[in-house]
């Protein structure tokens, strides 16, 4: 009887997509191994000492060209591993920071998050590394919003901007009610392993799931199980504010850095669709339309749109072969 109960419990657990071995991580992912050596940039910001962790690959090979890769909100710099390896082979020095509040970097008890602030932090890191110009900057998801702000803030530093399914292709504040961080904090505290997995399965991968996708959520599962869950939730909550208040749509007309926008057209990511303003019937996250409208906003630099039909929010993982054919030629 006990064996039957155990078998039923195992089958139920497996059917829900839950792991049997509990993953546990602290706030700075001490036991989570990154694909390359992790270094620390210590700096002062908002009256506190912070650590920005980063990977700097190819510097020892004396690679002259530089690529800066910026992660999305639900990710860390570790997911750039395959792309970074390829770019190093193409002669690039590749810098991959974890922004403050993400990955292995400091999770402050409080921080006034903005893309301007994260941009200043990133510029300080590049200055620390004596990188002064001709950087190709690539950003995915929220990293695309940050990359756009960086290109706007200091165009002399960058020679090309590459955006991979960025959020922010529409001005959320026109359609969405701005919420206090407490609102997001309470939502973050309610997250479960099952919920994280199924959100990404439904919204990122068209209902499909693979071992590779599973690896991408291990960090979040470990944090949910770990001792710093509340602090992680609070930082996640604070980082929603710039997404809703610092749009990039109004900035593209003033951008001077040549830009390539890579869009998986199946993407429907639409932050805030659950709390739109009363009477708003606008449908958020229509990437099959957003790429075209966004690219039309550029006035002072070359801008190109590459659409990947049938792919979603992470085309670089969903179909690496298709993605690589359009991405790597940008670095030749």
Instruction: Report how far residue 230's alpha carbon sits from residue 228's, in angstroms, rounded to the nearest whole number.
Output: 6
Query: CA 175, CA 239: separation in Å to the nearest integer?
Result: 19
What's this model's pTM, rounded to 2 decimal places?
Answer: 0.93
Residue 283 above 80 pLDDT?
Answer: yes
From CA 127, how far away is CA 276, in angstroms rounded?
A: 40
The pLDDT score that the predictor gives to residue 3 is 45
Domains of the chain: 21-331 (3.40.50.1820)
pLDDT band for position 155 (cuts 50, 70, 90):
very high
Alpha helices by DSSP H, the chain:
2-15, 81-89, 115-128, 142-153, 181-189, 193-203, 211-225, 229-238, 240-245, 287-295, 315-318, 320-327
Given pLDDT bands bounded at 50, 70 and 90, which one contains residue 59?
A: confident
Condensed to tens digits (0 to 9), the pLDDT of residues 175-194 reads: 999 999 999 999 999 999 99
- The whole-angstrom separation of Cα 165 and Cα 72 is 10
Q: Assess whether pLDDT exceeds 60 at residue 277.
A: yes
pLDDT value of position 21? 74
Sheet holding 65-70, edge to edge: 39-45, 48-57, 92-97, 65-70, 135-140, 158-164, 259-264, 303-308
Percent of the chain with pLDDT over 90: 92
pLDDT for residue 14 is more than 50: no
Residues 6+ positions from 300 with CB-CB distance below 8 Å: 253, 254, 255, 256
Give the model's pLDDT for residue 321. Answer: 98
Q: Residue range 181-208: average pLDDT?
A: 97
- Please give the average per-residue pLDDT across 66-95, as a whole number: 98
- Where residue 63 falls among pLDDT bands split at 50, 70, 90? confident
Mean pLDDT check: name the lowest of 27-41, 49-63, 233-247, 298-312. Answer: 49-63
Q: How far is CA 81 from CA 57, 85, 208, 288, 316, in A?
A: 10, 6, 22, 28, 11
Q: CA-to-CA distance for 117 and 114, rounded, in angstroms?
A: 5
Question: What pLDDT shows up at residue 214?
Answer: 97
Work out the mean pLDDT of the chain and round it to a whole number: 94
């Amino acid at each position: 009887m006990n064996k039957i109960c155990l078998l039923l419990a195992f089958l139920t657990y497996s059917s829900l997509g839950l792991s049997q071995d509990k993953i546990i991580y602290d706030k700075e992912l001490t036991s989570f191994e990154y694909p390359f050596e992790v270094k620390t940039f210590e700096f002062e910001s908002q009256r506190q000492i912070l650590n920005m962790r980063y990977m700097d690959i190819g510097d020892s090979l004396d690679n002259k060209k530089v690529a800066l890769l910026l992660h999305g909100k639900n990710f860390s710099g570790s997911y750039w591993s395959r792309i970074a390896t390829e770019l190093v082979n193409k002669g690039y020095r590749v810098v991959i920071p974890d922004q403050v509040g993400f990955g292995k970097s400091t999770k402050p008890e409080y921080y006034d998050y903005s893309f301007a602030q994260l941009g200043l932090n990133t510029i300080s890191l590049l200055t620390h590394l004596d990188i002064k110009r001709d950087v190709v900057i690539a950003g995915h998801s929220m990293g695309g919003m940050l990359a756009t702000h960086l290109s706007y803030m200091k165009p002399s530093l960058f020679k090309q901007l590459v955006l991979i399914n960025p959020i922010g292709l529409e001005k959320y504040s026109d359609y969405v009610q701005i919420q206090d961080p407490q609102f997001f904090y309470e939502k973050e505290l309610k997250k479960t392993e099952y919920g994280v997995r199924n959100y990404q399965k439904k919204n990122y991968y068209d209902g499909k799931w693979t071992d590779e996708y599973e690896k991408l959520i291990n960090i979040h599962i470990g944090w949910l199980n770990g001792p710093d869950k509340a602090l992680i939730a609070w930082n996640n909550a604070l980082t929603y504010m710039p997404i809703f208040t610092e749009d990039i749509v109004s900035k593209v007309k003033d951008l001077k850095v040549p830009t390539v926008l890579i869009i998986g057209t199946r993407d429907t990511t639409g932050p805030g669709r659950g709390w739109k303003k009363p009477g708003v019937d606008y449908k958020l996250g229509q990437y099959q339309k957003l790429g075209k409208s966004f690219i039309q906003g550029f006035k002072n630099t070359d801008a190109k749109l590459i659409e990947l039909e049938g792919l979603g929010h992470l085309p670089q993982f969903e179909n690496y072969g298709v993605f690589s054919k359009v991405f790597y030629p940008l670095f030749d």
